């Protein structure tokens, strides 16, 4: 008979059975359960982008109710916890259920109205903060209030002008945050279930307390932090040599990028992105912000600003002296960087997070070159210089907005990763939290200012793409089974739909197409049909000509 079957029972069950049940109970703690629910909810939203807003609200509401019920159950039956912790769990459970039910019963119009009202509230708070900051005699309070005021104004205008886009952005941001926080909670809960790990007191705590304990335990230490600082900041010893090498690589990368833009060469642009050193001071700025190193933050910001000015100036000079090899309007390297969208911000956020993680984690440090290629820093500056030299000020502004989008997004994403990976000193985060937040606030406000044109640009692009897709489908349905006739291109521009047809034979009724397009686009439209007949002429070996000679001007 095995040792398990001869083991004395405990509470009426064999030891092996009880240990399995106990292990399951240890793993299924509040932290891991909340993490799993958050990950599932976030992935459901991101993996199914076609879901309507109502279905997304149902997913979030159901997740909130499930988490709230679990908190309520644990608060009422939790063992090993003092009365205060159980009471907090009960309150969190009630709050989670209430929020979830609100999301489940509220209609889409109700939430849109709530977001719209929130925009006016933010606008009012921003104005009041600006007035208070201007009248305040305390310089530190003035700076913080002015930053909050500008941020509130920018966000309020954004919400009022486009509540639907903001609502979608909030949902997407919430899904990403849910996945990140859920992964941390799940990992922490699984660790807590291991022997000699965190006990029930911490895994039943609020999410903020668990996140703080995670940050405290992930601290890289003084020695590793010093090594990372040597790589991110141009300081003694050999400070001048480091700066000289940085400037040489920056100017060379800008030269390569500018020539690549003029030549419309994607491969050469990638080469310029690979050697561009701008990522280093930007990541250094993020690290200085979360550690409260104001001197290093100022030095990194100054280096980035000087590098941007030098890059634009050099690109302007090169464009003035170098021959223009391709047409400005037909240059894909320019046209792809003068109309930044919200997607560009998402790319930069992911690249900033990847760059910060590769900086801290030595096992993936070799991938930092891939991060440099993924996000464009130097090429937009080259486009700014080229556009300015050609007096294309709108294009120059668009390219500069793209760079600012990448810059702000990288700083904010890298700052978050530096906190979670332990590069930010945990004692400073708690002891100097006000100072760190006041230092980060300007970049949050700058992100909002950059986000305003991006959202409207992205919204316009998405709306136009949707209209063109609907128009193309209507044109294909209008052509139907007409032999040897096809729609080459369909464009929508300011209430006018242009349909370019190619083929042979007669075209269907244009009036039917206009009526169909007006119904699809929910607005009367003007239709222009451009029909280009296909002509085929065959000349046999004996000189006989067969086909449409008239189209070629006769024999």
Residue bearing the bigger pLDDT, 129 or 326: 129
Instruction: State the pLDDT at residue 553.
Output: 41
Confidence of residue 31 (pLDDT cuts 50, 70, 90): confident
Instruction: State the pLDDT at residue 247.
Output: 93
pLDDT above 60 for 18: no
Residue bearing the bigger pLDDT, 315 or 87: 315
Instruction: State the pLDDT at residue 141.
Output: 63
| Stretch 476-505: mean pLDDT | 79
Confidence of residue 66 (pLDDT cuts 50, 70, 90): confident
Chain centroid to CA 506: 49
Token representation of residue 466: 């949707």
| Stretch 200-229: mean pLDDT | 73
Q: What is the pTM of this model?
A: 0.69
Q: What are the distances in angstroms from CA 136 to CA 131, 159, 239, 445?
A: 9, 28, 40, 20
Mean pLDDT for all residues in the chain: 74
Instruction: State the pLDDT at residue 554.
Output: 42
Dihedral of the CA atoms 429, 432, 438, 444 (nearest 10)?
0
CA 395/CA 397 separation, integer angstroms: 5
Instruction: State the pLDDT at residue 312.
Output: 93
pLDDT above 80 for 490: yes
Percent of the chain with pLDDT over 90: 5
Mark residue 81 as left, alpha or beta (left: phi above 0; alpha: psi -120 to 50; beta: remaining).
beta
CA 277/CA 399 separation, integer angstroms: 19
Are 512 and 478 in contact by the 8 Å Cβ rule? The answer is yes
| Stretch 117-141: mean pLDDT | 73
Are 492 and 467 in contact by the 8 Å Cβ rule? The answer is yes
Beta-ladder partners of 498: 491, 528
47-56, 370-379, 525-534: range with highest mean pLDDT: 525-534
CA 343/CA 454 separation, integer angstroms: 9
Which residues neighbour 551 within 8 Å (Cβ) at sequence distance 6 or greater?
Answer: 533, 535, 537
pLDDT above 90 for 345: no
- Give 149-215 as a DSSP string: HHHHHHHHHHHHH-HHHHHHHHHHHHHHHHHHHHHHHHHHHHHHTSTTS--HHHHTS-HHHHHHHHH
pLDDT above 90 for 306: yes
CA 193/CA 198 separation, integer angstroms: 8
Residue bearing the bigger pLDDT, 443 or 319: 319
Confidence of residue 314 (pLDDT cuts 50, 70, 90): very high
Instruction: State the pLDDT at residue 280.
Output: 87
Q: Which of 234-238, 358-362, 455-459, 540-544 has the lowest mean pLDDT?
A: 455-459
Q: What are the distances in angstroms from CA 362 to CA 147, 224, 278, 416?
A: 36, 11, 20, 18
Token representation of residue 22: 């106990």
| Stretch 339-366: mean pLDDT | 79
Chain centroid to CA 180: 14
176-209 pLDDT per residue, tens? 888 888 888 887 777 665 544 444 455 556 677 7
246-304 pLDDT per residue, tens? 999 999 989 998 888 888 788 888 888 878 888 889 989 988 888 878 888 888 989 99
CA 496/CA 514 separation, integer angstroms: 10
Which residues neighbour 130 within 8 Å (Cβ) at sequence distance 6 or greater?
Answer: 145, 146, 149, 150, 153
With tokens 């930044």, the residue in question is 340
Instruction: State the pLDDT at residue 248.
Output: 92
pLDDT above 70 for 131: yes
162-176 pLDDT per residue, tens? 676 666 666 777 778
404-463 pLDDT per residue, tens? 888 888 888 888 888 888 888 877 777 666 677 766 767 776 777 776 677 666 666 656
277-289 pLDDT per residue, tens? 888 899 899 888 8
516-530 pLDDT per residue, tens? 888 887 778 888 888
- Give 421-466 as a DSSP string: TT-S-HHHHHHTHHHHHHHHHHHHHHHHHHHHHHHHHHHHHHHHHH
Q: Which of 59-68, 123-132, 505-514 has the lowest mean pLDDT?
A: 59-68
Beta-ladder partners of 539: 545
Q: What are the distances in angstroms from CA 216 to CA 39, 193, 420, 440, 453?
A: 23, 19, 9, 20, 38
Secondary element (H or E) of residue 548: none
Confidence of residue 23 (pLDDT cuts 50, 70, 90): low
Confidence of residue 56 (pLDDT cuts 50, 70, 90): low
Beta-ladder partners of 497: 492, 527
pLDDT above 50 for 53: yes
pLDDT above 90 for 313: yes
Q: How far apart are the first and last CA of the chain?
A: 104
Q: What are the distances in angstroms from CA 403 to CA 304, 331, 369, 375, 553?
A: 12, 19, 19, 10, 54
CA 131/CA 491 separation, integer angstroms: 48
pLDDT above 80 for 12: no
CA 189/CA 200 separation, integer angstroms: 10
Give the number of residues written for the chain.
555
Percent of the chain that is helix, strand, coil (3-state, to 5):
75, 5, 20
Q: What is the CA radius of gyration of the chain?
A: 30
Chain centroid to CA 403: 14
Instruction: State the pLDDT at residue 106.
Output: 61
Instruction: State the pLDDT at residue 487.
Output: 78
Instruction: State the pLDDT at residue 174.
Output: 75
């Amino acid at each position: 008979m095995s040792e398990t079957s001869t083991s004395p029972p405990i509470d009426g069950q064999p030891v092996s059975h009880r240990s399995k049940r106990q292990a399951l109970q240890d793993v299924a703690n509040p932290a891991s359960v909340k993490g799993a629910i958050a990950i599932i909810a976030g992935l459901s939203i991101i993996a199914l982008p076609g879901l309507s807003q109502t279905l997304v609200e149902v997913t979030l509401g159901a997740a909130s109710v499930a988490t709230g019920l679990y908190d309520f159950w644990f608060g009422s039956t939790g063992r090993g916890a003092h009365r205060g912790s159980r009471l907090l769990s009960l309150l969190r459970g009630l709050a989670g259920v209430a929020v979830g039910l609100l999301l489940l019963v509220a209609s889409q119009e109700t939430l849109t109205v709530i977001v719209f009202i929130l925009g006016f509230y933010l606008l009012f708070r921003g104005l009041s903060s600006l007035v208070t900051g201007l009248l305040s005699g305390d310089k530190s309070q003035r700076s913080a209030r002015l930053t909050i005021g500008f941020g509130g104004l920018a966000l309020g205008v954004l919400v009022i002008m486009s509540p639907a886009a903001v609502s979608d952005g909030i949902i997407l941001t919430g899904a990403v945050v849910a996945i990140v926080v859920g992964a941390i909670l799940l990992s922490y809960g699984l660790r807590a279930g291991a022997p000699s790990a965190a006990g029930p007191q911490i895994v039943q705590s609020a999410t903020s307390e668990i996140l703080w304990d995670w940050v405290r335990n992930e601290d890289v230490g003084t020695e590793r932090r010093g090594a990372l600082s040597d790589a991110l900041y141009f300081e003694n010893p050999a400070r001048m040599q480091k700066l000289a090498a940085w400037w040489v690589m920056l100017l060379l990368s800008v030269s390569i990028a500018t020539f690549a833009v003029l030549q419309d060469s994607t491969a050469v642009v990638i080469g310029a992105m690979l050697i561009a050193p701008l990522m280093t001071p930007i990541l250094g700025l993020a690290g200085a912000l979360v550690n409260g190193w104001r001197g290093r933050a100022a030095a990194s910001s100054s280096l980035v600003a000087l590098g941007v000015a030098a890059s634009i100036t050099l690109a302007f000079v090169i464009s003035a002296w170098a021959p223009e090899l391709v047409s400005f309007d037909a240059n894909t390297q320019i046209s792809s960087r003068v109309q930044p969208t919200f997607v560009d911000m998402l790319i930069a956020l992911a690249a900033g997070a990847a760059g910060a993680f590769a900086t801290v984690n030595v096992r993936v440090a070799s991938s930092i070159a891939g991060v440099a290629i993924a996000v464009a820093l130097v090429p937009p500056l080259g486009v700014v210089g080229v556009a300015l030299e050609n007096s294309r000020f709108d294009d120059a502004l668009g390219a500069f907005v793209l760079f600012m989008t990448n810059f702000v997004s990288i700083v904010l994403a890298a700052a978050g990763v530096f906190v979670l990976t332990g590069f930010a000193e945990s004692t400073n985060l708690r002891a100097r939290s006000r100072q760190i937040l006041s230092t980060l606030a300007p970049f949050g406000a700058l992100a909002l200012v950059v986000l305003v044109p991006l959202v409207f640009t992205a919204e316009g692009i998405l709306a136009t793409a949707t209209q063109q897709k609907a128009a193309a489908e209507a044109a294909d349905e209008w052509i139907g089974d007409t032999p040897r006739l096809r729609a080459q291109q369909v464009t929508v521009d300011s209430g006018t739909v242009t349909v370019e047809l190619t083929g042979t034979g007669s075209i269907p009724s244009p009036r039917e197409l206009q009526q169909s397009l007006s119904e699809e686009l929910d607005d009367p439209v003007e239709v222009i049909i451009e029909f280009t007949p296909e002509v085929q002429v065959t000349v046999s070996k004996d000189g006989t000509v067969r086909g449409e000679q008239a189209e070629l001007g006769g024999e």
